[in-house]
Structure formats: C-alpha cells, structure tokens
Chain A
Amino acid sequence: MSKIKSINQEAIAGYLFILPNFLGFLVFTLIPVIFSLILSFVKWDILTPPEFIGISNFIRLLGFHKEAGAIIPNDPLFWKCLGNTIYLMMIIPIEIMAALVLAILMNQRIKGITLFRTFYFLPTITNGVAICLLWAWIYNYDFGLLNSLIIKLGDFLGIPLKGIPWLTSVKWAKPSLMLMGLWTMIGGYNMILFMAALQNVPRELYEAASIDGANAFQKFWSITWPMISPTTFFISVMAVIGGFQGGFMQAYIMTGGGPERSTTTLEYLIYNHLYSWQHAGYAASIAWFVFLLIFIITVFNWKFGGKLVQQYHY
C-alpha cells in the first residue's frame, strides 16, 4: 500500500517538475509544429481569416507548367533560392577540412596554443551583425580594404588591377559570402571539436605505426581519419542542417538578398514571404520543404555515413 502511494507521489512530482517546461514546449513548439503543417495548406496574410486551399501552396512551390513550349517552374524565385542555398553550401566541405587541418596543427604540442586558439575563435564570439557590417565595409567597392590591397598589389607588380565589385555583382556576391563564411567558421566550434577528437586518439597507435615505418601521410589516413570519423560525421551532418537554414543575416545586412536575388537563401525567402509579403501559408510550406530536405539528408547520412563510421569503430 505504501509503495503504491509513494509511486503515485513520485508520478505527481514528476508531472509537477515537467509542468513549466512542458507547458511552454506545448504552446511554443508542439502546437506550432502542428499548426504550421495546417498553415502550409492555407492562404493567410495573418490579418484576415485563413482560407483553405488544399495543396495549392505545394503545387506553386514544386510544380511546373508549360509556357511558350518551354517547361517553366511555377515559382522560379523559389528554385533560384534553393540553388543559391546549395551554391553557398559548397564552402562547407572546405570549412570542415580547413578546421581539421588547423586542429591537427594546433595539436602538435607547441607553445602558445591558447593564444592561437583565441585568435581563431574571435569571429565565433563576435556578434554576427558586427561581422556582417565589418565585411560589408571590407568588401566596399570604393573605399574597402580588399580593393585597396588589390590596387596596391597592382601598383607593386606594375599592372593596373581593378577593384572587384564584391557584393554588388552577381558573379562575386556568392563567393564573397562564402569567403567570409570560411573566415568565420574555420577556428570555431568545429576546430575545437576536432582538437578534442584528436586528443582522444590513443598515442600507442601512432607509435606502433612509426615502428612499422609509416610516414605522416599514411598515419593520417590509416589512424587519424578513421579514429576521428564520428566527429567528422557529426560536424558534417550539423553543418548541412545549418546550411539549409543559413544566409539570413548576411542577406538582410550585407546584400538585401541581391544583386538580382543572387544571395537570397531559402531562409531569407521564408522571412520575406512571412513578413514583407504577408504570405504566412506559403512561408510555412517552404519551411516544411526545408524540413523534408534536412530529414532526407539526415536519414541518408545515418544509413550510409553511420555505417561507414561503425565499420571503423566496432
């Protein structure tokens, strides 16, 4: 009898403990998730009552139609933004590899690591808006630091080099944002995770390999790379998930999504549909499309990447 009572008490306590958090979770996460799914089937400007329109949002989003003999997407802007987002994500493998190289160099038991780490970590602890403003200034066509360096280099070499319209030309806008992304990301969380992973590789493995006459490159491929593969895998998955949701701040502050919408990412498109164009329903359907992309890639990753990692580790 007393045991039942104590279990009941424990259950009541359990509910009381989760109550504050669960209420918030219910109101601000769980119900909104469901509500958002419903939203993707309605037309709604938030002010007037919503109108149910079935799968029209998704037909507009993913459908194609024929126009003057050519097949044209119903919403070319969406496809353009999807393309932009994927284009900007091409820097991710380079970011990860650079972070790994940096971590390997920092892991060589040399003096001054704390100082180096502080320098590389600076962009991570700097306010993102400040970074965007700083780079907008560095990239400035008429007075910016980078173009000044280019022209100085031209003077030095005796060839007249011209400044590059970094953020104002379709050709350069995306590479500029990617370069800034590399600078921001290289010494951040990923590098520190890699450093931790490298420290966990047993030193005996390297010693044994040395005795067998392995060179540095062989040691990397047959010891380091497989041993840190769970970390590489984790970092890659998170980077891809983040990449599909990225680019908002850069677009908002540095480029306004332009020129010619060449830096408008899906996240910025969602914001515009929701806030500027009052298409809450359509914004929700894009958000769900992003979820679907992330979901498919994550499942694919776990299935294949996960297997690869397990092969090494079990």
Chain B
Amino acid sequence: MEKKLKMSVTEKIKKLFDRTFIYAILTIGAITMVVPFLWMLSTSLKSYSSVFIFNISDIKWIPNPFYFKNYIDVWKVVPFARFYINSLFVTSCVTLGQVFTSALAAYAFARLRFPGRDKIFFAYLATMMIPGSVTMIPVFALMRVFGWIDSYKALIIPAIFTAYGTFLLRQFFITIPRDLEYAAKIDGCSLWGIFWNVVLPLSKTALATLTIFVALGNWVSFMWPLLVTNSIEKRTLPIGLAYFQELYQHAQPNWGLLMAGSVIATIPLIVLFIFNQRFFVEGIKLTGMKG
C-alpha cells in the first residue's frame, strides 16, 4: 500500500506506457498465431471451385456462400470415421498399457530391493538418448517377421514400452514419503495392496501427467503408423489426413475438404486443452524439470 502511494505521477505514466507496449506486442503476436487458424476455418467452408480465384488478391475471408457440405463430404470421401475410431482405440490402448506397466516397473525401481535392479535401471536410462530411428528399423523388421504389419498389434504393442514413462514415474515415486507405506505394511497390507491402495492414489498428478503426454504423443504419432500400416482401414487419423492429399496427386487438392478434415482432427484437442489448461501447464513444468 505504502509503495503505491509513494509512486509518482511520472512513474505511473511510465508504467501505463510499459503496459500498453506489452499488450500491443502480445496482441500482435496473438493475431499472428490465430490468423492461420481462421484461414483454415474459412477455407473449410468454401467449395472446391470457389477456392481457386482468378486474381489472387481477391481472396475472401468470409465464404460466400457458406459451404457446409465439406463437413459432410469429409466422412464420405475417405473413411474418416474409421481413422478417428482407429486413433481413439490405439491411443487408449497405448496410454493404458504404458501408464500401467510403467507404474508397476517404476514402483519396483523406486522401492523394492532385488539383485540387478540398478543395472537394469541404468539400461533403461542409457537407451533414452538413442534416437527413435535406431530402434525403429529393427522393430519394423520384427513386425514383418511376426507378421504384424497392417495390424493393430503393430500400432499398439511396440508403442507401449518406453523407458521414458518408467523413468518419469520412478522419479516421482521416490519423492513420496515412506511412512504411509510402512503404516500400511504394519496393518498387514500386501505389496500389491500398498502399490494399488497407497502409492497410486498418492501419485495422481504424476499419473495424469504421463497419461496426457503419452496420449498426446500417440495421438499425433506419424512415422510409425505410416511404416506399419498399408490398408486404408488400419490408418490412424494423422496418416488418414495425409492420405487426403495423396488423392490429388497431380491436381490442386480440394483445399476446402482438407481444411475441414484438419478442423475436425484438431478441435477435440483444443477443447481438451481449454478445459485442462492448468493440468497441461503443470505437466510440462514437471516433465521439463525432471526429464
């Protein structure tokens, strides 16, 4: 309070000026971020021919007329619903599988003593710096040997097991005070009981963070699904979107349709983010500090 009273008029003007300056820059930046998305939306409401204008400086931001048919056609031209369901299914399986197996292993690495534990954990750590493409090549070959190419198994199973998830959760588990676990042990709780009823409920934040990042990472995963799927029925959403473009090898693509597909693919994530913004931000901080 005292400080505010002491503030002179010139200081106040300077502060107001600073604030205006900051708002101006942030607003210009925000416009730059949003304009491409508005362009996406605008194009998605234009018909095939109305996108191609004779004079390029005549572009229209507001479609005339609004062509909502793109949002219907998108599901017919390619099996877009199938891509969506594939992505939902694959991402759910990978996320559940990875969070569960990582939590199990992380608990053992954090709390249980067994011969070779630290050596195995070191092996996990050592592989984290190896680029994905190094392991991708043999695993791709393995998929052929297993006969898993173009199956959900190839999309799901190799994606479940990462050193990263185990590492992240282990780092969190070692920060949990042991007292609660001891108390549960004295009460006659089994190891499984301690893990399931004590440790996991205490780790909700870390588990949620891992869930978000695994789900997000898998939802946009591109190269692996591209390698292991051949048929249209097995494609996930990102590959499906890319497939749109392949339909128009030698002509200008139907940009309205492409943008409508992009909007549909993007909206769920944006909604998810807006309602869980705090969670995302906390998660990024957590992984950024520890990873």
In the complex, the answer to whether A189 meets B129 with C-beta atoms within 8 Å is no
Q: A18-B105, A143-B252, A248-B222 are in contact. List 6 more A-B contacts (CB 8 A).
A: A10-B191, A30-B127, A129-B239, A284-B134, A284-B138, A287-B133
In the complex, the answer to whether A187 meets B33 with C-beta atoms within 8 Å is yes
Binds A, one of B70-78, B202-210, B277-285: B277-285
> Which residues, 236 to 291 on B, are CB-close (under 8 Å) to A?
237-239, 241-242, 244-245, 252, 255, 258-259, 261-263, 265-266, 269-270, 272-274, 277, 280-281, 284-285, 288-289
In the complex, the answer to whether B140 meets A298 with C-beta atoms within 8 Å is no
Q: Chain A interface (Cβ within 8 Å of chain B)?
A: 7, 10-15, 17-18, 20-22, 24-25, 27-33, 35-36, 39, 46, 102, 105-106, 108, 110, 114, 116-123, 125-130, 133-135, 137-138, 140, 142-145, 147-148, 151-152, 155, 163, 183, 186-187, 189, 192-193, 196, 231, 234, 241, 244-245, 248-249, 252-253, 267, 270-271, 274-275, 280, 283-284, 287-288, 290-291, 294-295, 298
Per-residue CB proximity of B91-107 to A under 8 Å, as 1/0?
00000000001101101
Q: Which listed residue (A7, A133, A155, A234) contacts B262, Cβ 8 A?
A: A133
**Does B89 count as interface, using CB distance less than 8 angstroms?**
no
In the complex, the answer to whether A29 meets B127 with C-beta atoms within 8 Å is yes
CB contact under 8 A between A148 and B113, given known A32-B138, A105-B22, A253-B245 = no
B103 to chain A, nearest CB (A): 9
CB contact under 8 A between A192 and B285, given known A7-B113, A249-B222 = yes
Q: How far is the CA of A60 from the CA of B158 in the complex (A)?
A: 31
Q: How far is the CA of A114 from the CA of B280 in the complex (A)?
A: 12
In the complex, the answer to whether B163 meets A25 with C-beta atoms within 8 Å is yes
In the complex, the answer to whether A291 meets B134 with C-beta atoms within 8 Å is yes
Q: How far is the CA of A105 from the CA of B24 in the complex (A)?
A: 11
In the complex, the answer to whether B127 meets A33 with C-beta atoms within 8 Å is yes
Tally of chain B residues near chain A (CB < 8 A): 97
CB contact under 8 A between A108 and B22, given known A17-B104, A21-B105, A46-B144 = yes
Q: Which A residues touch B43, using CB under 8 A?
A: 137
In the complex, the answer to whether A21 meets B158 with C-beta atoms within 8 Å is no
In the complex, the answer to whether A30 meets B123 with C-beta atoms within 8 Å is yes
Q: Chain B interface (Cβ within 8 Å of chain A)?
A: 18-19, 22-23, 25-26, 29-30, 32-34, 36-37, 39-40, 43, 51-53, 56-57, 59, 101-102, 104-105, 107-109, 112-115, 117, 120, 123-124, 127, 129-142, 144, 157-158, 160-163, 166, 191, 195, 216, 219-220, 222-223, 226-227, 237-239, 241-242, 244-245, 252, 255, 258-259, 261-263, 265-266, 269-270, 272-274, 277, 280-281, 284-285, 288-289
Complex A-B, nearest 4 residue pairs according to Cβ-Cβ distance, in ascending order: A24-B161, A14-B114, A17-B108, A21-B105
In the complex, the chain A residue whose C-beta lies closest to that of B145 is A46
Q: Which B residues touch A127, using CB under 8 A?
A: 219-220, 237-238, 241, 262, 265-266, 269
